[in-house]
Amino acid sequence: MERDGNAFIFVDPKEFASFLHVQRMLEGYVQKDLAMAILAVQSVISDWEKGNTEPMLSNAMIWANALGYRLALVPFENPEV
């Protein structure tokens, strides 16, 4: 994870999930609270946070939004294309 001002840049999906897990705990939510907020079941949140599964992009956006974040595309400084 990199930090750019107020933005966090993730390359690894597990780092993203770990970050949101910590944010959920800091907000005082249990997995069930978050699941209800994003219309999911608690086991889905658990699987995401443990890295057992990765959310689809739309679900990742909803998950981040529920914790006060939004997803953004950030261009590489030196693209390897």
Alpha carbon 53 to its chain's center: 12
Residue 80 predicted with pLDDT over 80: no
Burial class (CB in 10 A: 0-12, 13-18, 19+), 7: exposed
Percent of the chain's residues with pLDDT above 70: 98
Residue 46 predicted with pLDDT over 80: yes
- 3-state DSSP assignment of residue 2: strand
User: Domains, the chain, ranges and CATH?
Assistant: 12-66 (1.10.260.40)
Q: How far apart are CA 16 and CA 23, in angstroms?
A: 11
**Which residue has better confidence, 80 or 29?**
29
pTM, to two decimals: 0.79
Smallest CA-to-CA distance from 31 within 46, 53, 16 is with 46
What's the angle, vertex CA 59, arms to CA 56 and CA 65, rounded to 5? Answer: 140
